[in-house]
Structure 1
């Protein structure tokens, strides 16, 4: 479950995305946060306009 905290402009552990950004931009920001934990976002391409994704162990 996600949670919301008060914004701290000095907290550099956060990544950001604009509300106008495409979903892949947001998922890439999440992927960057997962990397130090050995995890990554994996996207499945079904050639439609939907996003299918999961969190998995980093492959490299």
Structure 2
């Protein structure tokens, strides 16, 4: 039983110490891209797509 607990603890620590900072960095990059002033025109145009008539 202790072998499974050790593997579980190792896996949990690995995920927390390795993947969490990577996903936080990806999230920050996406938010930065979305809020960058140069991209505002493209996002404004895309936000009007559902309101267009065909």
Q: Please indicate the TM-score interval, normalised by the length of the shorter structure.
A: under 0.3
TM-score (ref. length: structure 2): 0.24
Larger Rg: 2
Greater length-normalized contact order (CA 8 Å, ≥ 6 residues apart): 1
Structure having the higher helix fraction is 2
- Write 1 or 2 for the structure with the bigger share of strand: 1
